[in-house]
Structure 1
């Protein structure tokens, strides 16, 4: 997590690392724990294509994502979810605690921009990163956006 903090400080973004007693395993658990709307949670999904891996950071209230539509947006023939072993290999993190700041091409959900702050992973299961959606956009290699609705 020291690397994450260094990046956040270097990029001069406002953030807060919130420590908690146990891992928050779902968007709903996170929303309940922090007393926020589920849409403010920002789960990171990992997608695999013929072009390599992509991170997709979505709003917790999005529900299912149409991978065919996302493939079209980013110009891939086919997309599928990466498995937990692949996620660990490409990020160094376990599923459920992946950092919101990644060195992968990233697809961002525009829904997240409805909120002043969003909450997501730090790379450690017992902590959460709180920051503005614009900071997330600045910190990641954004290649596409998911539209609202």
Structure 2
């Protein structure tokens, strides 16, 4: 059992851990593999501004996020994507496997995810995907901002 499964079971969460033989590398690939809409995929990305980091969970069909607007709303100088080494150092997980829950970073969440009863995203391992409700993702993260 992985760390994220333990995290969710301790909280009596409703979720499914889906395993697959190969890594899923994009929202399009995930949507095709699971037979879902691209918007149901929920990449968990890490942003940084100086020495501050945030977890950003977006809908797979969103496209670009206005980081300049987001940085103003968060009150920080500028936001950029953390590099793969930073992501692993800060979260303990590799890019592409960062879980939707269980990361102790302030979270930015995409409201578009609420279009679906379940979303699919990182589960901590490259060959596992977490299927969970967006409300539960919100519940077990420290959401500090929303992407509309």
Matched, 1:110 2:120: no
Matched, 1:137 2:138: yes
Offset at residue 30 of structure 1 (A): 0.3
- Which residue is equivalent to 2:70? 70
Matched, 1:91 2:85: no
2: CA distance between counterparts of 1:60 and 1:30?
9
The 3-state SS of whatever aligns with 2:108 is strand
2: CA distance between counterparts of 1:75 and 1:11?
32
Q: Is the 8 A contact 2:99 2:124 kept in 1?
A: yes
Matches for 1:1-149 after TM superposition, within 5 Å: 2-50=2-50, 52-101=52-101, 102-147=103-148
2: CA distance between counterparts of 1:109 and 1:83?
21
How much is the aligned-residue C-alpha RMSD, in angstroms? Answer: 1.1
Q: Is the 8 A contact 1:117 1:131 kept in 2?
A: yes
2: CA distance between counterparts of 1:95 and 1:53?
15
The 3-state SS of whatever aligns with 2:42 is coil
Q: Deviations over 1:78-117 (max 9, x none)?
A: 1111111100110111111111111110000000011000
Q: Is the 8 A contact 2:45 2:98 kept in 1?
A: no
- What's the TM-score once normalised by structure 2's chain length? 0.95
Equivalenced residues, count = 147
The 3-state SS of whatever aligns with 1:73 is helix
